[in-house]
Amino acid sequence: MEPGQRTAHLQRETSESSVDLRLDLDGTGRSRIATSVPFFDHMLTAFAKHSLTDLTVTANGDIAIDVHHTVEDTGIVLGTAIRQALGDKAGIARFGDATVPLDEALARAVVDISGRPYLVHSGEPDGFEYHLIGGHFTGSMVRHFFEAVTMAAGLTVHLTLLAGRDPHHIAEAQFKAFARAFRQAKELDPRVSGIPSTKGAL
C-alpha cells in the first residue's frame, strides 16, 4: 500500500460508549482528541505526535460510572483502525524499538507488526494501578489500553517501565515509547520487497 492510502475511519457504538476515529499512518502527528477524559486525551495526543500518525478521536461514554469503558473501547477502535490502515503490510519495516525518558521515568517498547496479538507489560511500581491521574484516569488503564490496542491491531508488544516515580510520567513515558516504536515498525522501507515474513503473510 502506498503512502497516503494507509488511512481508516471507524465508528463503534455500544450501550457504554460511542467512538468515532480517523487515522492516517503517513501523517505528521496532527491530532484532534476529545474523549471526555482529559488525561487520556493528553496520552492520545502524545501517541499521535510521536508516532507521526494523524489522529482524530471523538468519544463519549459512561464516565460518570468509570473511564474504563471509554478507554477500552477507544483502544479497540484504534487497534482495529491500525490493522485496517496497514492493509497487507507489504513494504513495512515491521519491527520497532524505542527507549524514552520523561524526567525520572524511563520506558522501553518493542513492537512487531506480526498479526499475532501479544502484550508483555512489566515494571510498573506496586500501587500504580490504583493511582488516580488527573482525577479520572487510574494507572490500571495504561495496561488495559495497550491490551485493547494490541489485540485489535494484531501487534506483539513488549512494554517495560525501567524507572519512574511520578504516575503522570510513568504513564506518559510508556505511551511515548510505544508511539516511537510503532513509528519505526509501520514505516515503509524502500528496500523491503513484499511482505516482511518468511511465511509470506502477517
Q: Residue 30 sits in a domain of what CATH number? A: 3.30.230.40
The residue range of the domain holding 153 is: 7-186
CB 120 within 8 A of CB 44: no
pLDDT digits (tens, 9 = 90+) for 170-195: 999 999 999 999 999 999 999 999 98
Give the pLDDT confidence of 46-86 residue by residue, as tens digits: 999 999 999 999 999 888 888 989 999 999 999 999 999 99
Structural domain contains residue 119: yes
Predicted confidence (pLDDT) at residue 3 exceeds the cutoff of 80: no
Assigned domain for 74 exists = yes
pTM above 0.85, yes or no: yes
Contact 96, 163 (CB under 8 A): no
Looking at the domain assignment, is residue 195 inside a domain? no
**Does residue 27 lie within any of the structural domains?**
yes
Q: What is the pLDDT of residues 132-156, one digit of tens each?
A: 999 889 999 999 999 999 999 999 9
Per the structure, the count of domains in the chain is 1
Q: Is residue 196 part of a domain?
A: no
Angle at 152 between CA 151 and CA 154, to 5 degrees: 65
Q: 163 in a domain, yes or no?
A: yes
Residue 153 lies in a domain: yes
